[in-house]
Amino acid sequence: MTDTVSGPLPPTSLEEPVERIGVIGCGLMGSGIAEVSALAGCQVTVVASRPASAERGRDRITASLDRGVRKGRLSREQRDAALRRLAFTTDLDDLRDRQLVVESIREHEQEKLELFAALDRVVKDPAAILATNTSSLPISRIGRATTRPGQVIGTHFFSPVPAMPLVELISSLDTEETVHEQARRFAEDVLGKQVIRSGDRSGFVINALLIPYLLSAVRMVESGFATPEVIDRGMVLGCSHPLGPLKLADLVGLDTVVDVATALYQEFKEPLYAPPPLLMRMVETGRHGRKSGQGFYAYDT
């Protein structure tokens, strides 16, 4: 549990460095965001839904840092310092003094809306940035769940967060330009990421292009035209992609692909965004890809 903060908090200014970070969710994405923030020198409070989830998140981050030490990317001192900057809790109130909170729960709109309404009550600094790591949902709808939509922004990280250099920043029509600038400086100057700016529509830049490609590969398997192995080998060798579309879908998580595709279809009503029945059945039966041990390929868990 983090230390309790009492009394009013001074508002964060644009010039003040962002050092107190909150991360909600400690699955693959949330733990990755927490890890890179702690390595960058930030004090990070991670909120999990249950104590067991917090423990798994701590173990995941520790294992990732240990790999960095073994591979020579980190020193033992950097690893230990990052772990000291991390605190885990199940109490949302422990985020009350944060300058930036990044939500990274599952891609479910109603859950995100309820969470941001709660964050609006909890986080005391009126200038604090409330960020969502959504990969598909419009930022304007999430911002309108709060009384401060100008402080809400999309920060779309990519998995695995420690290795992937990109962050998509998405401002809604309500997001203040100073908030976008502060979020950009945090992502670039503190975390060392590269930033692209996207307009506020479902899928943003990357997933609006990526998801139809992944779904086309699924439909090719579904029709019996080609196997996952043939499709992936063809795209790697023929198009110089580092990973074929079915292995990439497994890595992203087939449940996440369905969630993003559904959000895109709801917004645009384009058939190319509709998740194919094969993909729906796989997710319904627990075949979520690499994280579950079974997707279009089998994995050791």
- In contact, 102 and 156? CB cutoff 8 Å: no
Q: Is residue 122 part of a domain?
A: yes
Q: Is the pLDDT of residue 156 over 70?
A: yes
Measured CA angle at 159 (ends 94, 89), to 5 deg: 15
Number of structural domains the chain divides into: 2
> b/e per residue, 177-192, with b = 16+ CB within 10 A?
eebbebbbebbeebbe
Burial class of 136 by CB neighbour count within 10 A (0 to 12, 13 to 18, 19+)? buried
Residues in the chain: 301
- Same domain? 210 vs 93: no
Give residue 122's Cα distance to chain centre.
21
The enclosing domain of 193 has a CATH number of 3.40.50.720
Report pLDDT for 14.
53
269 is in an annotated binding site: no
- Residue 9 binned pLDDT confidence (cut-offs 50, 70, 90): very low
d(CA 87, CA 33): 13
Phi, psi of 86 (to 5 degrees): -100, 135
The whole-chain average pLDDT of the chain stands at 93
The secondary structure of 74-91 as a DSSP string is S-HHHHHHHHHTEEEES-
The Cβ of residue 286 has, within 10 Å, a number of other Cβ atoms equal to 11
Q: What pLDDT score was predicted for residue 16? A: 75
Say what the pLDDT of residue 7 is.
Answer: 44
| pLDDT for the residue 117 | 98
Mean of pLDDT values over 168-179? 97
Residues 193 and 220 in one domain: no
Are residues 157 and 256 located together in one domain of the fold?
Answer: no
Residues 184-239: pLDDT tens digits? Answer: 999 999 999 999 999 999 999 999 999 999 999 999 999 999 999 999 999 999 99
Q: Residue type at 125?
A: D
Question: 46 and 124: one domain?
Answer: yes
Is residue 11 included in any domain, yes or no? no
Quick one: angle between helices 76-84 and 51-70, nearest 10? 160
7-16, 68-77, 213-222, 264-273: the lowest-pLDDT one: 7-16
Q: What is the pLDDT of residues 12-31, one digit of tens each?
A: 455 678 999 999 999 989 99
Which residue blocks in the chain are alpha helix, DSSP H? 28-39, 51-70, 76-84, 109-122, 139-143, 177-185, 206-222, 228-239, 245-252, 254-268, 277-284
Active-site residues: which are they?
135, 156, 168, 207
Any known ligand binding at 172? no
pLDDT at 15: 63
Known binding residue 75? Answer is: no
Give the model's pLDDT for residue 17. Answer: 85
Amino acid 11: pLDDT:
47
pLDDT at 3 exceeding the cut of 50: no
Is 36's pLDDT higher than 60?
A: yes
Count Cβ neighbours within 10 Å for each residue of 261-278 and write b for 16 or more, e otherwise. bbbbbebeeeeebbbbee
- Whether 299 is covered by a domain: the verdict is no
Q: Who contacts 110 (Cβ-Cβ below 8 Å, separation ≥6)?
A: none
Outline where 106-205 has alpha helix (H).
Answer: 109-122, 139-143, 177-185
In which domain, by residue range, is 99 found? Answer: 20-198
Q: What is the CATH number of the domain that holds 248?
A: 1.10.1040.10
pLDDT, residue 159, reads 86
Residue appearing with tokens 């990519």: 158
107 with 86, same domain: the answer is: yes
Q: Quick one: 97 and 137 in the same domain?
A: yes
Q: Is residue 264 part of a domain?
A: yes
- CA atoms 157, 162, 166, 167: torsion sign: positive
